Amino acid sequence: MMSMPLFEACEKGDINRVKSLIEGKCHIKRVNEQGRTALHYCCDNTTIDCARFVLNDELIKKKILDLQDKEGCSALHLACINGNQVMVKYLCEQGANVNLLDHESRSVIHWIAVCGHLHLFDILLKYKAPVHTPDIHGAFPIHYASQLRGLAILQKLIDCKVDINGTDEQQRTPLMWAASAGYKNKNLSLFRLEDMDVDIKNNNTIVLRAVDELRLLYKYGADQLHVDKNSLSALHCAACGGHADCIRMLIEYYRCPVEGVDINGWTPLFYSITNNHPSICQLLLDLAANPNHKDQRGRTPSHCAVTEGNLDCLTILMKSSANIWLKNKRGDYPIHEAINTISTSKSRNQTTKTEQIFACIRYIFQLNPNKINIQNDDRR
């Protein structure tokens, strides 16, 4: 809570109270427990009267105009987060530093990309705000614009000739972020969700726009075949998120290989199973994914489905000619891996998953009662 009357008056835009307090020798340069000054709170309303009065003294303006709070946010950062066009324009006119980065190395362009504030872009560009700087996770504004329903901002950034194939710390490109739209990204979680002018909980809305963003990025030369440091592709990302439209576009139009493998030998089909997307599992199979592909450990999608307790995907695989009697490199059939997983789950008290795995086991033996005593390579 704010303890200082000046902060409260600035937040409410009460110019008469602000004048009275300042004329009464109120300490304008004082900061609160968040490291914020009165100027920070002026960014909560859409008039500049209070800010103008706070910055009236040149010495005070020099001290607080670019003062950063404990998160590294200047008043300009907060105005950008709030989408406050009047304050952004005013602060820029007063000489606010558009190059400042917060403590996560986010620029003002990062923030308007995350929050979807297109109306601020040209103002910041006029004052030469940098449009292509990485945050501490190596992600550029174009990454966030690609994932957070920022189609118009994405176009603006492309028009600024930023590197469309620039990579973050995971070596992921904006196209990969777009393919992941709606799927929880660890970098996204670091932003305050209440600051975002997007409905990130509505996956359908995001996915529809993700297709547009994929199309736009590809049009301007994005590499659809790029893989990250773990050899994940855009198609893997789309399968993780369960995005059917993105998957169709990547395979049918952009010729992404449905059998592309990551560092563990997993195809996108494996990710659709482990992330519990039965409809995506079916779609990938319809698009010629191999239901019997083996990863580096010799595990098939069926091994994955059974050990995850994913009966829906297991059923789909079996109806698509998956052979559930293929062994992994240890000589275990999917059914043996399932039993081993149950032992581990019990030790961790994962009762729900155990029940789901048992459902898969029952289903397999109902269809194959003669396999009840089948042995692995260790004769177990």
CATH no. for residue 16?
1.25.40.20
Q: Is the pLDDT of residue 376 over 80?
A: no
Domain count within the chain: 2
Residue range 126-150, pLDDT digits in tens: 999 999 999 999 999 999 999 876 7
Q: Stretch 76-96: mean pLDDT, rounded?
A: 98
Binning pLDDT at 50, 70 and 90, where does residue 204 land? very low
Is residue 204 assigned to a domain? no
Q: Stretch 45-62: mean pLDDT, rounded?
A: 94
> What does the pLDDT read at residue 196?
40
Is residue 55 assigned to a domain? yes
Q: Stretch 334-345: mean pLDDT, rounded?
A: 80
Binning pLDDT at 50, 70 and 90, where does residue 187 land? very low
Is residue 348 assigned to a domain? yes
Q: Where among 55, 75, 97 does a domain terminate?
A: 97
Integer Cα distance of 293 and 261 in angstroms: 10
Q: Where among 73, 97, 121 does a domain terminate?
A: 97
Q: Stretch 2-17: mean pLDDT, rounded?
A: 87
Q: Stretch 230-243: mean pLDDT, rounded?
A: 97
The three-state DSSP-derived secondary structure of 257-312 is: CCCCCCCCCCCHHHHHHHCCCHHHHHHHHHCCCCCCCCCCCCCCHHHHHHHHCCHH
Is residue 372 assigned to a domain? yes
Distance of CA 8 to the CA centre of its chain: 34
Integer Cα distance of 86 and 94 in angstroms: 12
Residue range 254-311, pLDDT digits in tens: 999 999 999 999 999 999 999 999 999 999 999 999 999 999 999 999 999 999 999 9
**138 torsion bin: left (phi>0), alpha (psi -120 to 50), beta (else):** left
Is residue 379 assigned to a domain? yes
> What does the pLDDT read at residue 197?
41
Binning pLDDT at 50, 70 and 90, where does residue 342 land? confident
Q: Where among 37, 72, 97 does a domain terminate?
A: 97
Is residue 143 assigned to a domain? no
What is the span of the domain harbouring residue 334?
293-380
Looking at residue 304, its amino acid is C
Is residue 121 assigned to a domain? no
Q: Stretch 223-237: mean pLDDT, rounded?
A: 98
Q: In the predicted model, what is the mean pLDDT of the chain?
A: 89
Is residue 239 assigned to a domain? no
